[in-house]
Amino acid sequence: MAVQFESSVKHVPYSQERVYGKLSDLNNLESVRDRLEQVKGKLEGKLEDLAFDQDSITIKVQGISLTLRIVEREPMKCIKFEGEKSPVPMNLWVQILPVSEEEAKMKVTVRAEVNMFMKAMVSKPLQEGVEKIAEMLSMIPY
């Protein structure tokens, strides 16, 4: 059974092109890793590691590693990821829309394949996770 979770719409004070340009090449997230090291203590051990290359990002949270690989880029509008080695089959996409020449808005969506029993267990953490990802992405200096 596929379940879908969407973040609220986040406003970003940068152009759609700048946001897409940074997020479509994950090597551009080096500044995020630097900031993560500074706040790791505040995360109470939840986020243990973050690694990435141009097309994938691996996050280790509470002993579980999750790799998301970019499977599709729709220039300026959307970046689609697919989970690799994830506990459940999942996809994540980041949609970017222009508001003005110097402002964009974005939304993060996750779709996961889970059974009815798992749905009850993962719904709240996945919704919170989607919201936190969107919040983090909206704070990146593009």
Give the model confidence (pLDDT) of 60-114 as tens digits.
777 778 899 999 999 999 999 999 977 789 999 999 999 999 999 999 999 999 8
Give CA 74 to chain center in angstroms. Answer: 16
Q: How confident is the model at residue 4 (pLDDT cuts 50, 70, 90)?
A: very high
Domain of residue 134, CATH code: 3.30.530.20
By residue range, what is the domain housing residue 25?
A: 2-139
Please name which of 126, 19, 37 lies closest in space to residue 75, comparing C-alpha atoms: 19
User: Is the pLDDT assigned to residue 44 strictly greater than 70?
Assistant: no
Count of domains observed in the chain: 1
The residues pairing with 106 across neighbouring beta strands, listed in sequence order, are 10, 96
